[in-house]
Structure 1
Amino acid sequence: MKKTQKTLLVVAALLALGTAQADTLKKIKDTGTITLGVRESSGALSYTLGDGKFVGFHTEMAEHITSDLRKKLGLSTLTIKYQPVTSQNRIPLIENGTVDLECGSTTNNAARQKQVSFAVTTYVEEVRIAVKANSGITGIAQLNGKNVATTTGTTSVQLLRKHEKATGVDFKEVFGKDHADSFLLLESGRADAFVMDGQILAGSIAKSKNPAEYKVVGEVLNVEPIACMLAKDDAPFKAAVDDSIKAMMKSGELAKLYDKWFLQPIAPTNVRVGLPLSEATKMAWANPNDKPAEDYAKK
C-alpha cells in the first residue's frame, strides 16, 4: 500500500511539474524574460550575423510576437534571450522548457505534434536540390553515384529516396552538422548536391562567395508547412502566439517582413534571396491553420 501511495505521489508530482513547465505565459510574466529558439543558418528565415545577433523573417516575426506578449501581460519591459538551436536539439529544448518559442525553419508534421505544438503556418516550403551550375545535374536521375548532402536531424534525403523518380538511383548521403556546414560540403566539392528546403538553399546561395556558381534544380520533393514551435498542451500561450501572428497577417505586417527578407538585399552580403511569395504561403495566410505536412501531401 505504501509503495502504491509513493508511486502515485511521484506521478502526481511529475504531472504537476509538466503543468508548471507548460504555463509559459506565467513563466514569462514572472521572469520578465522570453527565450526564443533561433537558427544560425536557416536561409532568410533565421540566421546569425555573429556576435550573438540573430535576424531573419521568422526571427523578426518572433520579436513582434514578443512585443504583443509584453503588452498582453502588462509588462513595461520584456527581455529576449536568443537560444541557438539545431535540427537535432530544437524539440528537446522546447520539451524541457529551455526554449519558450522556436521560430526557425521547423516543419509541422504529425510525428512532431505528438511532442510539441505548432503555431499557425507562416511559410510553406518546397524541398528541392541545390547543385553547382556547371555540374550537369538537372534532377533526381543525375544523382546516381553522387554524394548528396543533408543536415543531421532533417528528413530531406529520406524524402528524396521515397520519391517515385528515385527508383534505381543510388547515391551516398553525407551529413552537415547544420545547414551552413551542409552547403560547405557542396561548395568544397565533397558533395555533388544539397537537398533541403528551397528557401534555405536559395538563402545559402545568396550568401555564398559566388552565387552565380550554384542553382536550385529538379523536382519538388515535398511541400511542407513551416511554423513556430512551442510546448505541447499550453493552450493559453498558443492562443496568444496565434493571435499575434494572425494580426500581422491581417494588417499586412507579415507581408512587409516577407518583402524585407526575401525580396530586398539582406546582410551580410547585401544580396537578394529573390523568392516571391508562393501561392501556398498566401493561402496559409488567408486561411490561418496549424495543419501538419501530411495534409499537404498529394492525394
Structure 2
Amino acid sequence: MKKKNLWVSLCLSAALFLGACGSDATDTADSAAGSATDASGQVTAETIKEAGVLKVGVKEDVPNFGLRNTETNEIEGFEIDIAKKIAEEILGDAEAIELVPVTAKTRGPLLDNGEVDMVIATFTVTEERKETYNFSDAYYVDAVGLLVKKDKGYTGLADMDGATIGVAQSSTTADAISAEAEQYGISLSYSEYATYPEIKAALDSGRVDAFSVDRSILAGYLDDSTQILKDRFATQDYGVAIKKSNTELATTVNDLITAWGEDGTLDAMITEWGLGE
C-alpha cells in the first residue's frame, strides 16, 4: 500500500477515549470486568485462551498505524495487523480480538487496570517506562519531527525561537524537542492535546506553530498547506507494552515479535502500510 497523505478531520473528544472499552466490531460490557487471570493474578496465554478473546489497546487516529475507517467503522493499520497476528498465534483466530481505543494519556491506565491485555499503540520504549511495563523488542523505529504551515517560512527548529509546539498529552515529544532546542539556544512553549486530530486543528487555526510527534505519524496529516521539516529528534522504538507482573505473556509476545523481525514478517507489514522511508 502506498503511503497516504491524509488530512484527518477525526475530532474525537477525550471523553470518547476515556470511556471506550468496546471491541472494534461490537461494544460489549466485558471490558469493564478486566482480563482473565490465573491463580497468581497473572494474565497468560492460557488465561487468554480460556477467555477466548485478546484485548488490545490501539490508536484509532494514527494513519497507517491505527485509524478508524469512517466507512466501515473498523480500525485498520500496521499495529492492528500485529495485534491480529498475535491473536492468531495465541487463540488460532485473528478475529478473536477486542480492539480498545487508547490515547497517549489513557493507554497506561487501561493497562494498569487490566482492561487490556497489552497495548500496541505507537508506545515508545524508554528506560523510565520499562520500570513500569514489560516491553517487547521494537517492531518499528522512528524519530520525532515537526509539521508546520508552509507559509510560516520555517526551515528547521533553529528558526522557531518563541514558537508554540502542539504535542500529545503524556507523550515524550516535548522532552525530545526541548533537548534539541537547548542546543540551539532557543525558547519554546508547548500546548498539550488529547488527540492528534486536535493538534492538527490547532495548527490549522494558528493556535500552535507546529505539530510534533513521530515523523511517520505526521506523514498521515500532511496536506497541501503543510510540510514536515528535515529535523529528526530522539530515536523512537515502538514496543508492545504488557503489565509488569505478566512476565509469561511478555515473554510469549516478545518471542513472536523477535521471530517476525527475523523472518521478514514485520518488514512486509511495514511495506504494505507504506511506512518505510
User: TM-score under structure 2 normalisation?
Assistant: 0.79
Q: Does 1:217 align with 2:255?
A: no
8 Å contact kept, 2:158–2:181: no
Counterpart in 2 of 1:183?
200
Give the drift of 1:84: 0.6
Distance 1:37 1:20 in 2: 23
Counterpart in 1 of 2:91?
70
Give the drift of 1:52: 4.5
Q: Does 1:84 align with 2:96?
A: no
Counterpart in 2 of 1:108?
125
User: TM-score under structure 1 normalisation?
Assistant: 0.74
Alignment length, in residue pairs?
A: 240
Counterpart in 1 of 2:52?
32
8 Å contact kept, 2:86–2:94: no
8 Å contact kept, 1:148–1:172: yes
Give the drift of 1:78: 6.5
Q: Say which SS state the counterpart of residue 273 (structure 2) adopts.
A: helix
From 241, 244, 258, the counterpart of 2:270: 258
Superposed CA RMSD in Å reads 2.2
Distance 1:77 1:144 in 2: 48
8 Å contact kept, 2:49–2:90: no
Identity rate, percent: 24
Q: Say which SS state the counterpart of residue 59 (structure 1) adopts.
A: helix
Q: Does 1:155 align with 2:172?
A: yes
From 111, 123, 134, the counterpart of 1:94: 111
Give the drift of 1:106: 0.4
Q: Does 1:44 align with 2:83?
A: no
Counterpart in 2 of 1:267?
none
Which blocks of at least 5 consecutive residues in structure 2 are unaligned?
A: 1-36
Higher helix share: 1
8 Å contact kept, 1:139–1:218: yes
Alignment-mate amino acid for residue 58 of structure 1: E
Distance 1:248 1:213, change over 3 A: same
Structure 1 runs of 4+ aligned residues shifted over 3 Å read 17-21, 164-168
Q: Say which SS state the counterpart of residue 153 (structure 1) adopts.
A: coil
